[in-house]
Amino acid sequence: MTSGRPKISVRDLVVTYGRTRALNGLSVDVRAHEILTVIGPANSGKTSFLRCLNRMIDLDLQARVKGSITLDEIDIRRGIPAEDLRQRVGMIFAMPIPLPLSIRDNVAYGPRMSGLRDKAALDRVVEDGLRAAYLWDEVKDRLGQPALKLSGGQQQRLCIARTLALDPEVILFDEPTSGLDPISTAKVEEAMTELRKTRTIVLVTNNTKQAARVGVRTAFFLMGDMVEVGPTEEIFTAPRDQRTEDYIVGRFG
């Protein structure tokens, strides 16, 4: 455990898509075992920031990335293959997207791709993942069924289980509850709070109340800049910047 040192360290991160700039030189640390929530209006660069952290942004051929990002002091662009990085830094998308496979095969997908073949080990990984995502009891009798038959909330927890099956150190959530009802949202938030004990979480959300509920620290992004970052309580009760306050009380965004 690298206590004290940041888990992820971002310095002078610039992201451009053609002529538009999504991030203008952003620097922030993510500490081990925290939930860093990122809030901000549309086009503030939240998702671009998140996608840099596991290099999913490389899939976008238009995107250009400058600056440095380290994970446990390893340069994620030069020090580690992208595939290995994405196993250590998992990602949950805004919309739950189960692959058109069975529930079991969805959860086993990542470990299989990294070379795990042993059936007993895969079964164990599937069960552990589903339990950690609070989905095991609902699906344990129908693991062979198509994942697309699950409800929306179950699908999103399946996606969490699928990411957890890789045992990532960091999990990136990109507005994971934007399409879910309040009960499903509560379950996902519960899973996040539990996961924090063993992992580090970065949560991008449009829901400021959610940031207040689960965030340890909160960062406020606006137009590609980080306006401020601090303990969630401070950001919500005594923000230093007027724009943060305006956003939180709902004057814009």
Partner 1 sequence: MRNETLKERLGFGVLLLAALVVVVPVLAIVALIVLKGWGALSWKFLFTMPLDGMRAGGIFPAIIGTFYLVIVSIAFSLPVGVMAAIYLSEYARDNALTRTINLAIINLAGVSSVVYGLFGLSLFVVFLKFGVSIIAGALTLGIMTLPVIITTTREALRAVPHSYREVSRSLGASRWQTVRHTVLPRALPGILTGAILSVGRVAGETAPILFTVAAFYLPKLPTSLSDQAMALPYHLYVITTQIPGIPEGFRYGTALVLISLVLVMNIAASVLRSRYRKRR
The site for partner 1 (CB under 8 A) is made up of: 54, 56, 59, 61, 83-84, 86-87, 90-91, 93, 95, 97, 99-100, 109-110, 112-114, 146, 159, 162-163, 166
Q: In one letter, which amino acid is 48? A: S
Minimum Å gap between C-beta 64 and partner 1 is 15
Q: In one letter, which amino acid is 186? A: A
Query: Residue 113 or residue 238: which is nearer to partner 1 going by CB?
Result: 113
Minimum Å gap between C-beta 119 and partner 1 is 17
Query: Residue 1 or residue 59: which is nearer to partner 1 going by CB?
Result: 59
Minimum Å gap between C-beta 233 and partner 1 is 32
Query: Residue 48 or residue 232: which is nearer to partner 1 going by CB?
Result: 48
- Residues 6 or more apart from 59 whose CB is under 8 A from it? none
Minimum Å gap between C-beta 62 and partner 1 is 11
Query: Residue 45 or residue 90: which is nearer to partner 1 going by CB?
Result: 90
Minimum Å gap between C-beta 32 and partner 1 is 21
Helices marked H in 69-181:
82-88, 103-113, 119-132, 136-139, 152-164
Burial of residue 61 (number of CB atoms within 10 Å: 0-12, 13-18, 19+): exposed
Burial of residue 99 (number of CB atoms within 10 Å: 0-12, 13-18, 19+): middle
Minimum Å gap between C-beta 46 and partner 1 is 17
Minimum Å gap between C-beta 183 and partner 1 is 25
**Residue 143: DSSP 8-state:** T
Query: Residue 71 or residue 235: which is nearer to partner 1 going by CB?
Result: 71
Q: What share of the chain is helix, strand, coil (3-state, %, to 5)?
A: 40, 25, 35
Query: Residue 56 or residue 204: which is nearer to partner 1 going by CB?
Result: 56
Between the CA of residue 191 and those of 67, 194, 201, 212, what are the distances in Å? 32, 5, 11, 16
Rounded CA-CA distance 22/78 in Å is 23
Find out whether 2 and 170 touch, Cβ atoms under 8 Å.
Answer: no
Rounded CA-CA distance 248/253 in Å is 9
Query: Residue 51 or residue 187: which is nearer to partner 1 going by CB?
Result: 51
